[in-house]
Amino acid sequence: MIPKSIKWRLQLWYGLILVVVLAGFGGTAYQLERNRQFRRIDDELHKRIGIIGNALHGPPPRGQRFNPPPRDDFPDDGPPGRNRRPLRPGDFHLPEQDEHFFDASDPNQFYFRITGRDGVELASSTNQPNKLTEPDSQVSYSQSSHHPNQFAPIFPAPEQSQTKTKPQPAVNFGDYRENIEILPSGEMIWVGCSIAPELKELRRAKLSLLGIGGLILIFGLLGGWWLVSRSLRPISEISSTAVKISAGDLSQRINTVEAESELGQLATVLNSTFARLETAFAQQKQFASDAAHELRTPVSVILTQTQTSLARERDAASYKQTVEACQRAAQRMRKLIESLLALARFDAGQEILKRSPFDFSRTVSDCAELVQPLADERGVKISIEAKPIEIIGDSERLAQVVTNLLTNAIQYNQPDGEVRVKLETQNGLAVLMVADTGAGIAPENLSRVFGRFFRADQARTGSGNAGLGLAICKAIVEAHGGTIEVASAENVGTTFSVRLPAEA
């Protein structure tokens, strides 16, 4: 379960990266400090090797023998340092002015020794360690014949080396560090010191780095866990809300405190989706209830008429009257069912519209002529101001829209009122406006005018009106890429505006 958790995966990756970064930083800091310490020690070792070398080649002070006279069998014109007899044990003594460099009271305890070509010790300081451990470096060493517990490096024979002295890399012997230099005459100068204080300081630095790194790692992991938990909190809320919604509670919403983050934006989109889903379910529920209510009336009429006719024998006129009532109820049901099917096809995008150019002003005039008898019956005047405008669409469906708007404007108008129809172009759109002089629509009902089965009041409900006409008009207009709007003022009238793309 843990490997599949996004939170644990992020935390593991974050922890791994933090460990690598801390290890790299700590290792680099430790290595830099170690190199700094050993570089300082190596400088001191090189300085003291130079002192020993100068003492070997310089003139002896009074009362001391440093460089014995040259042997007769050595040529005088040879390289420096090669025209004297080899140094023998006891020949070399450190000058008094340089003894403080190898004083036993020195905290680093610098010491020296000089060995011959065969590894025999020729001279040494009094503070030289009695026993050295195996060297830590990769240089090849052989055990000295003079001191079994010490080691001498394996270097080329003096005859094969250059005339200059050859400094060798420093090596560690446990708590000691030594530097060696081979002289052209074959002697080897060994200078070393104790590095116990430096090793102790390095161990202390290592422990400090480990401690600090451990604390940083702990606080980093805790901070990472808090940050990951906080970042993924919206996901948990989304999952919890989705579970509640799937259980039937469509009113649940996700808390979007951090609306600017990516997950906050996702939560906002999901909340909008949930709101539309709740509205859709509410509309579907209301639609089903209204459809059942509208169908119940004609069904009740049919059942009542048939039951009354079957209750006893009647004459032919009574049967005819019953059949006619049932026919009217069935026609009302058919009209309602056809409207519902049309809306369902528009909702599913399955309604097939004819796309052909036609003169929209001619369609408006034909529709006005069609409803003129209804207007004459109610004493309503129809005035038309229509410019020829050609559009592309389904002329029959758009004629249905115009006819419905004109019929509503006549039915809900005042006696001897007026219906004004105007068709013009605005910003490349064909704009149709149908205005009446009726009682108007209350402001709180304007947003519901295009709802299915909506009727503002019973007084505005005509015979057989199920409240689906404007909903179908809206679906047809939107299918053509247009819009339909309504504006109304009580006791002044209502104006419907239809905007459709006009042919360029």
pLDDT given at position 172: 83
CA gap 66, 191 in Å, rounded: 18
| 328 C-beta neighbours (distance < 10 Å), count | 16
Domain range annotation of the chain: 6-200, 285-348, 356-501
With a pLDDT cut of 90, the percent of the chain lying above it is: 23
- Model pLDDT for residues 213-253, shown as the tens digit of each residue: 999 999 988 988 888 887 777 777 778 888 887 777 777 77
Cβ–Cβ under 8 Å, residues 454 and 442: no
| pLDDT band of 434, cuts 50, 70, 90 | very high
Q: Which residue has the tokens 């247009």?
A: 482
CA gap 297, 332 in Å, rounded: 10
| pLDDT band of 5, cuts 50, 70, 90 | confident
> Does pLDDT of 334 surpass 70?
yes
| pLDDT band of 10, cuts 50, 70, 90 | confident
pLDDT given at position 134: 52
How far, in Å, are 50, 82, 84, 224, 372 from residue 73 at the CA level?
28, 11, 9, 81, 148
- Model pLDDT for residues 278-326, shown as the tens digit of each residue: 877 777 777 777 677 667 778 888 888 888 888 888 888 888 888 888 8
| 384 C-beta neighbours (distance < 10 Å), count | 15
With a pLDDT cut of 70, the percent of the chain lying above it is: 79
**Mean of pLDDT values over 331-347:** 79
Q: Which residue has the tokens 């025999």?
A: 120
Which three-class secondary structure state does DSSP give residue 165? coil
How far, in Å, are 301, 384, 421, 475, 501 from residue 357 at the CA level?
45, 22, 22, 20, 12
429 beta partners: 426, 501
Cβ–Cβ under 8 Å, residues 158 and 181: no
pLDDT given at position 424: 92
pLDDT given at position 460: 45
CA gap 221, 16 in Å, rounded: 10
CATH class, range 356-501: alpha beta
Backbone φ, ψ for residue 111 (5° rounding) = -140, 165
pLDDT given at position 90: 64
Dihedral sign from CA coordinates of 235, 236, 241, 243? positive
181 beta partners: 167, 189
pLDDT given at position 146: 41
> Does pLDDT of 272 surpass 80?
yes
Nearest residue to 370 via CA among 394, 342, 345, 405: 405
